Amino acid sequence: MKNLSSMWGRVFAILLLGVLGSAALTWWLAFGERQRTITQFRDSHAVERAEQLVLALDALPAANRAAFLATAPRLGLQVTTLPAATTAQAPRSDYAAAVSERLGKTFRVLSLPQDPDHCPRLPPPARALRGPCEALGITLHDGTALRLTVLPPRSPPPLRPEFLRYLLLFLSSIAVLAYLVARMSMRPLQQMAQAAADLGQDINRPPLTEQGASEIRQATRAFNAMQARIRQHIAQRTQMLAAITHDLQTPLTRLRLRLEKVGDAELRDKLIADLSAMQSMIREGLELARSMDSKEALQPLDLDSLLDSVCADAADAGQDVQFEGQSGLTVMARPQALRRCLNNLIDNAVKYGRHARLSLDVGQNAVQILVRDGGPGIPPELHGKVFEPFYRMEGSRSRESGGTGLGLTIAQNIAQQHGGRLQLSNLREGGLEVRLSLPLRAA
């Protein structure tokens, strides 16, 4: 039932049932036509045999008829002397009428009740296949009354093993052909579905090749055009933010120099802090745009070496960071983007939870990088909101508000570009655990 829920499974079933139905209908029509031809030939031959037998008996002397009658069963006929008391009626069947017409008016042909010994009762389908079973009363020119019984032919032979093998080969060929046609027809759609799934991870992936039926090529062309428009839109937005950031650097630098000349030290420090926050927000906004338009190529990456390097850099910067465990895995990743994602997670853990403890959980199809801190955690109802751009926790995790609210958003974008995701959970002993899932692909 699972295969029938897919498009190729339904196409396969429709093709298979359609071809089998057409083959069965063709066989039924051909068998019916063949049966009608055989019936016509059989009935005509039975009339000729009866005519020849009656004419031969009529020409023989009565004394020589007994020896000739012994050969009648070979012709599928049985002839006996008709008792005088036997009742008869006018011709009632097509066969009796045909025999009467062939013999002429000089012979008297009547229909007689069928003899159960010679004409067993059969269901209609079997009766149609076995042919007629008739009993006729025929009076010769010398007045001799005979009972002529047309014996039914023998039962048809059973199906030969060769026929069953040919039938099985025919059905298997139809099934294989229907499977291949369904697969070939659905392959472009499967490629398009996979391309749509990959588009969320890599907007710069190569466009699809336009192949297949005209409708498939049209859909592929529309998909490629949509990808190009999305890529252009993201590139324009990134360029716009980069231009704004670049243009703001000069006036912000001049503003900082002028703030240094403010005489009131307390006011000067507050203004410089606000300016620094503004510059940080501008940089984070640009990083957010770049995280959704990464042109960095995927390449094999030693995961243990990357984590050791990131943790060492954080420790050199005075952060309490430790990495425990080794996986020996090589993953397909964008090194700089993944490093930025890990740095954001470590910065959040140290800022709100005092320390960061990194470990690995290796599964069959994915590896999870666990980042744990010692902070108060995040209420479960807010786990989804912290990934929204510019969302900041005011007092939920710290007494002082900080950051721009883009760290986890950027980390989530980078994780999704790698085909993974971020998950949050509160630890029983206290603290927050962030799980970064990365799929294991062939390097």
Domain final residue pick, 295, 312, 336: 295
pLDDT in the model for residue 396: 43
Residue 173 is assigned to a structural domain of this protein:
no
For 210, what's the count of Cα atoms within 13 Å in the CB-facing half-sphere? 11
For 185, what's the count of Cα atoms within 13 Å in the CB-facing half-sphere? 15
Domain final residue pick, 295, 310, 338: 295
Residue 277 is assigned to a structural domain of this protein:
yes
Residue 73 is assigned to a structural domain of this protein:
yes
In contact, 142 and 65? CB cutoff 8 Å: no
- In angstroms, the CA 100 to CA 134 distance is 13
Say which CATH number the domain at 374 has. 3.30.565.10
pLDDT in the model for residue 443: 55
Residue 178 is assigned to a structural domain of this protein:
no
201: amino acid identity, one letter: Q
Number of domains in the chain: 3
- First-last CA distance in the chain: 35
Stated as kind and residue range, the H or E segment containing 253 is helix 214-259
- In angstroms, the CA 132 to CA 110 distance is 16
- In angstroms, the CA 397 to CA 276 distance is 22
In contact, 401 and 391? CB cutoff 8 Å: no
For 115, what's the count of Cα atoms within 13 Å in the CB-facing half-sphere? 16
Residue 167 is assigned to a structural domain of this protein:
no
User: Same domain for 126 and 31?
Assistant: yes
Say which CATH number the domain at 246 has. 1.10.287.130
User: Same domain for 79 and 127?
Assistant: yes
Q: Partners of 368 in the beta sheet?
A: 361, 437
Regarding pTM above 0.85, the answer is: no
Cα–Cα distances in Å, from 163 out to 38, 168, 243, 307, 398? 20, 9, 79, 69, 83
User: Same domain for 316 and 389?
Assistant: yes
Q: Which of 352, 351, 368 is nearest to 360 (CA)?
A: 368
CA dihedral 160, 164, 169, 173 (to 10 degrees): 130
Residue 170 is assigned to a structural domain of this protein:
no
User: Same domain for 128 and 200?
Assistant: no
pLDDT in the model for residue 21: 86
Rounded average pLDDT per 10-residue block, the chain, 443 residues: 66 82 85 80 80 83 77 75 61 73 81 64 52 74 80 61 81 85 80 80 80 83 90 80 79 85 84 82 74 76 92 92 86 90 92 91 90 90 86 53 73 87 90 91 62
pLDDT in the model for residue 395: 47
User: Same domain for 253 and 316?
Assistant: no
Q: CA angle at residue 282 from 278 to 287, to 5 degrees?
A: 145
In contact, 324 and 357? CB cutoff 8 Å: yes
Domain final residue pick, 295, 319, 342: 295
User: Same domain for 411 and 427?
Assistant: yes
- Which are the contacts of 90, defined by CB distance < 8 A and separation ≥ 6? 110, 111
User: Same domain for 62 and 125?
Assistant: yes
Distance of alpha carbon 362 from the chain centroid: 30
For residue 399, what is the DSSP state?
S
Sequence-ordered strand ranges (E) for 125-255: 134-139, 145-150
Distance of alpha carbon 353 from the chain centroid: 47
Environment class of 79 (CB within 10 Å of its CB; exposed 0-12, middle 13-18, buried 19+):
buried
Cα–Cα distances in Å, from 39 out to 73, 76, 118, 308? 20, 15, 20, 91
**Can you state the angle between helices 7-59 and 94-103, rounded to 10 degrees?**
40
pLDDT in the model for residue 60: 83
In contact, 313 and 349? CB cutoff 8 Å: no
The parent domain of residue 209 ranges over 196-295
User: Same domain for 303 and 398?
Assistant: yes
